[in-house]
C-alpha cells in the first residue's frame, strides 16, 4: 500500500480516508495506458470538432489518390503537411516541387508521427495503416485511417463551403451518402433555401427575378437566393408555381395573374404594388416566367421603380423562347439548317394597326421563327407567313407546358398547324417553332426509336 499512499487523493485535515480498495481502484485507473477505441461503442455518434490547423504539422502517410484528395483541403486549412511515401501522384509531386508540402520519399517508419497534431493513414497497405494508427494512438495524436473506418479513431467528414459557412457530414462507412448530403446542404445554403431570411442582410427595394420556363429547378441560383429573402412576392400565372411552395408561411404572395379571357390585374396596379411595399420597408420580389426583359414588361416595372426612387435589381432568367424548344429536342439554330432565329410576341395579330412586327420580312427570311402567345392567333399568323413567302410545307412544332411534367408536343406544317392545334385542344402556355430545325427533333426521335429496337 506504500505506493498507493503517495497519491494525494484527499486532504487529511478535512476528509475521511477512503477505503484501501477504492484508493487502489483510482490508482489503477490513473496508471492505465491509452487504449484503442472500444469496438463495443462504435455506434456512438462522433464528436464533431473544427480543427484550426494553421501552421500545425499534419502527417500524411501514403501518396495515392486518397492523399491527393485530402492534401489540398489540409493546405487550404493552413496545415504544414508532411508527406511520407516512396511514390506519389503527379499532383502531389508538383506540390512538393513548389514547396507547398514536405515529401519524405521513403516508406513509413516508427517515429514519423512525432510532433504531428493530426495523422492521415492513407496507404493501400492495411498493415502499414494499422502501424501508423497504433503509433499515433500511443502518442495521443488523432489519426484517420482511410481503409478501415470501423477501426479509425477519427473520420474525415465530407466537407464543403457556402459563403462563410463550412459544412461537414459524417456517415461512418458510407462516404458516398455523406457526400450526397453535403452537396444537398451546400446547395441549399447557396440558393438560400436552408437559411431563414430573417438571419440574412436583405437587399433593399425590388428584385425583378426571371423564374425560367416552368420547371422550378431552372431558376438561377441568384434568383432562388433572392426569392428566399423576400417579404413580398408579386407573381403571375407564367411564373413557376412550384417556387411558391418553398416560401415561408409569413411571406405575402400577391397574385397578379393575367389570364387570357379571365380576371386580370393591370400593369399600372402591379407597378404600384411594387413601389408601395418597397417604400414600406419590405423586400419585394417580382417573380416572372422566363426572363423579365423578354416580353415580360420588366422594363416598364424597372422604369416605374426608378422614377419613384426605389432600388431595382434585375436577375435574368432562362427565356422560354429558347428553353422550351430545347426541352422538346428542337435547336433554334443548327449548322447547315438555320443561322438565325427570330423571337416574336404574337399577342397582336398580323395586319392589326398596333402590330410592329415585320411579318413580310419574316415570310421572306429563312431562319427559325419562335412564336410566343400565338395559340389563339395561329391561323392568322400562318396565313400571313405563307402570304409573304413561306411554303405551306414548312415544318412547325408546338410545345405546350414546356419543361413541366405535362409537357406535350405536336408537329405539323404551316398549312396544317392551325387545324392540328384545334384538334389537339392546345392551350397556353405554348411555344410555336416554325422552320426546318423542327426536323432535327424528328431525326433525334427516330434514332432513339431505332436504338431501342431489337436487332
Catalytic positions, written as ranges: 236, 258
SS3 string of the chain? Answer: CHHHHCCCCCCCCCCCCCCHHHHHHHHHHHHCCCCCCCHHHCCCCCCCCCCCCCCCEEEEECCCHHHHHHHHHHHHCCCEEEEECCCCCHHHHHHHHCCCCEEECCCCCCCCCCCCCEEEECCCCHHHHHHHHHHHHHCCCEEEECCCHHHCCECCCEEEEECCEEEEECCCCCHHHHHHHHHHHHHHHHHCCCCCHHHCCCCCCEEEEECECCCHHHCCHHHHHHHHHCCEEEECCCCCHHHHCCCCCCCEEEECCECCCCCECCHHHHHHHHHHHHHCCCCEEEEECECCCCCCCHHHHHHHHHHCCCCEEEECCCCHHHHHHHHCCCCCCECCCECCEEEEECCCCCCCCCCCCCHHHHHHCCCEEEEECCHHHHHHHHHHHHHCCCCCCCEEEEEECCCCCCCEEEEEECCCHHHHHHHHCCCCCEEEEECCCHHHHHHHHHHHHHHHCCC
Amino acid at each position: 500500500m506504500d505506493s498507493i499512499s503517495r497519491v494525494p487523493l484527499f486532504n487529511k485535515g478535512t476528509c475521511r480516508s477512503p477505503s484501501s480498495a477504492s484508493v487502489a481502484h483510482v490508482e489503477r485507473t490513473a496508471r492505465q495506458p491509452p487504449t484503442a477505441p472500444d469496438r463495443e461503442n462504435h455506434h456512438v455518434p462522433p464528436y464533431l470538432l473544427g480543427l484550426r490547423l494553421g501552421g500545425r504539422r499534419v502527417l500524411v502517410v501514403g501518396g495515392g489518390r486518397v492523399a491527393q484528395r485530402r492534401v489540398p483541403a489540409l493546405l487550404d486549412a493552413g496545415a504544414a503537411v508532411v508527406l511520407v511515401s516512396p511514390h506519389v501522384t503527379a499532383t502531389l509531386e508538383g506540390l512538393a516541387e513548389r514547396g507547398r508540402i514536405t515529401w519524405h520519399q521513403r516508406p513509413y517508419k516508427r517515429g514519423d508521427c512525432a510532433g504531428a497534431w493530426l495523422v492521415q493513414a492513407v496507404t493501400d497497405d492495411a498493415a502499414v495503416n494499422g502501424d501508423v494508427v497504433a503509433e499515433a494512438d500511443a502518442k495521443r495524436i488523432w489519426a484517420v485511417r482511410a481503409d478501415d473506418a470501423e477501426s479509425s479513431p477519427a473520420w474525415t467528414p465530407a466537407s464543403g463551403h457556402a459563403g462563410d459557412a463550412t459544412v461537414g457530414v459524417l456517415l461512418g462507412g458510407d462516404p458516398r451518402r455523406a457526400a450526397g448530403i453535403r452537396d444537398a446542404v451546400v446547395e441549399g445554403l447557396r440558393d438560400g433555401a436552408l437559411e431563414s431570411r430573417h438571419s440574412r442582410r436583405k437587399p433593399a427595394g425590388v428584385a425583378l427575378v426571371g423564374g425560367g420556363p416552368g420547371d422550378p429547378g431552372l431558376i438561377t441560383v441568384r434568383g432562388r437566393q433572392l426569392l428566399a429573402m423576400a417579404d413580398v412576392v408579386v407573381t403571375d400565372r407564367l411564373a413557376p408555381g412550384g417556387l411558391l411552395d418553398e416560401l415561408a408561411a409569413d411571406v405575402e404572395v400577391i397574385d397578379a395573374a393575367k389570364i387570357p379571357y379571365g380576371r386580370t390585374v393591370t400593369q399600372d396596379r402591379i407597378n404600384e404594388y411594387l413601389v408601395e411595399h418597397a417604400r414600406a420597408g419590405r423586400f419585394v420580389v417580382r417573380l416572372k416566367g422566363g426572363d423579365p426583359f423578354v416580353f415580360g414588361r420588366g422594363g416598364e416595372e424597372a422604369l416605374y421603380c426608378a422614377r419613384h426612387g426605389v432600388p431595382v435589381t434585375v436577375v435574368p432568367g432562362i427565356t422560354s423562347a429558347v428553353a422550351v424548344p430545347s426541352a422538346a429536342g428542337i435547336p433554334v439554330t443548327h449548322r447547315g439548317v438555320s443561322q438565325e432565329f427570330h423571337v416574336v410576341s404574337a399577342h397582336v395579330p398580323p395586319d392589326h394597326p398596333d402590330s410592329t412586327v415585320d411579318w413580310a420580312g419574316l415570310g421572306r427570311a429563312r431562319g427559325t421563327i419562335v412564336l410566343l402567345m400565338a395559340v389563339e392567333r395561329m391561323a392568322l399568323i400562318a396565313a400571313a407567313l405563307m402570304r409573304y413567302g413561306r411554303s405551306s410545307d414548312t415544318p412547325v412544332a408546338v410545345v405546350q407546358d414546356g419543361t413541366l411534367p405535362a409537357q406535350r408536343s405536336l408537329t405539323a406544317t404551316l398549312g396544317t398547324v392551325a387545324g392540328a392545334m384545334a384538334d389537339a385542344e392546345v392551350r397556353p402556355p405554348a411555344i410555336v417553332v416554325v422552320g426546318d430545325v423542327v426536323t432535327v427533333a424528328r431525326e433525334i426521335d427516330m434514332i432513339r426509336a431505332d436504338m431501342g429496337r431489337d436487332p
